[in-house]
Amino acid sequence: MAVGLEKPSKLLPVNGVRLSSAAAGIRHVDRNDVVLIEFAPDTVVSAVFTQNAFCAAPVQLAKSHLAKMPARWLLINAGNANAGTGEAGLSDAMTCCAAVAEQFEASVEQVLPFSTGVIGERLPSERLIEVIPALKDKLSASGWEEAAHAMLTTDTVAKGISEQVQIDGNTVTITGIAKGSGMIRPDMATMLAYIATDAAVEQAAMDRCLEQAVNGSFNRITIDGDTSTNDACVLAATGTVNDTVLNAEHVDFEILCDAVQRVCRWLAQAIVRDGEGATKFITINVEGGSDSEECLAVAYTIAHSPLVKTAFFASDPNWGRILAAVGRAPVLDFDLSLVDILLDDVCIVRQGEPATDYTEQAGQAVMNQSEITVHVRLGRGGSVEQIWTSDLSYDYVRINAEYRS
């Protein structure tokens, strides 16, 4: 069960965005598994994608289409990743995009495809095409929550959040949904995220806003260290509320960016909280690094250690595993006499040595919690980084062992 995460409260409609979902029977016969998102004309769209060299056919096509003209429709399917499928996969993705374009009498380049699910299996494009007329008929401004459910694979909870802020004297809405549970360590710039706002934003500012938001959220999470072939995050601004088009110099631009960042961070943390078999939500703070890369190297070494992750699952204050992970991080000229390590506010290592005031009872009290923060102080500089991860449970092995069965 997801750690401290419940199904979304009411998701607010975004002016200029309509959504629908339908059941195409791609992998399961008893649930919706295809989503269509429509944007108003002149919507500004930014996106970032996986850096996996074996990026899926829909990723390749979405990049190509987005480079040619603004997107109007997003077609998303769960249950099949359409990855590792070669030219046939590209053809299948294009066929689905063409079917959407035909329904709206639009250019095929205005449709972006997205897929999530099993890698290496041919996409049953004919099933997607069959439900596209129904998707068109069902488009609704209130379709956010249904869309969030339809995208799920091994997720146990749909993930969505809304915020409203004042921009240029108008109330602006930001709503986002995401899916992701395993194969999670995005390197973007199997997670998908879609965020929309009714603010008016110029393209360059949108790109900057999304890059900043992703770097502080989706690029700071890891479940298992695996980067999916299909990761994508889309930010759309319909421009249907405020008349003034925001650029990076506008006085309210940072207000919008901060709100987008909060939405992305909540969604990213929700993915970790719903990590496959997760029973713990773990924050890792590393401070005092000589640069950001050094802090992240230490944080991810801790987060990716199976021994550390299983200790968290067992609620075992075996802090030697954390110490060992910090020590093997790729950091040059480590001065251990400057290093402190804490579990929440319980110091386990002070200046490179076991903390004399540490007690097993205090360590156990922290490890019994479902949410834990690991603090590492390197004493080498002024950089600080934070990432979020989960434990490694029996259920993670079971879920992934049975994924195709």
Selection from 281, 266, 177 nearest residue 213 by Cα: 266
Q: Give every CB contact of residue 400 below 8 A, 6+ residues apart in sequence.
A: 182, 276
Q: Give every CB contact of residue 293 below 8 A, 6+ residues apart in sequence.
A: none
- Same CATH topology for 17-273 and 281-401? no
Alpha carbon 80 to chain centroid, angstroms: 18
**What integer pLDDT is reported at residue 277 of this predicted model?**
84
Q: Mean pLDDT for the chain?
A: 94
Selection from 195, 164, 193, 156 nearest residue 5 by Cα: 156
Counting every residue, how long is the chain?
405
- Residue pair 196/47 in contact (Cβ under 8 Å)? The answer is no
Q: Tell me what percent of the chain is helix, strand and coil, each rounded to the nearest 5.
A: 35, 25, 40
Q: Per the structure block, which two tokens stand in for 239?
A: 């421009």
How does pLDDT run across 277-323, given as a tens digit for each residue? 899 999 999 999 999 999 999 999 999 999 999 999 999 999 999 99
Q: Give every CB contact of residue 178 below 8 A, 6+ residues apart in sequence.
A: 148, 159, 160, 191, 192, 193, 194, 267, 268, 270, 271
Task: Could you please state the CATH topology (level 3) that the domain comprising 17-273 is classified under.
Answer: L-amino peptidase D-ALA esterase/amidase (3.60.70)
Catalytic residue among 50, 190, 197, 279: 190
Architecture of the CATH domain 281-401: Roll (3.10)
The CA distance from 177 to 343, in Å, is 32
Tell whether the model's pLDDT for residue 265 goes beyond 90.
yes
190 is catalytic: yes
**What integer pLDDT is reported at residue 180 of this predicted model?**
86
Phi, psi at residue 117, to the nearest 5°? 145, -145
What is the mean pLDDT of the segment spanning 166-189?
Answer: 83
Domain ranges for the chain, please list them: 17-273, 281-401
What's at 214, amino acid-wise?
V
Tell whether the model's pLDDT for residue 75 goes beyond 50.
yes
The helix or strand, by DSSP H or E, that contains position 93, with its residue range, turns out to be helix 86-104
What's the pTM?
0.95
What is the mean pLDDT of the segment spanning 130-141?
Answer: 98
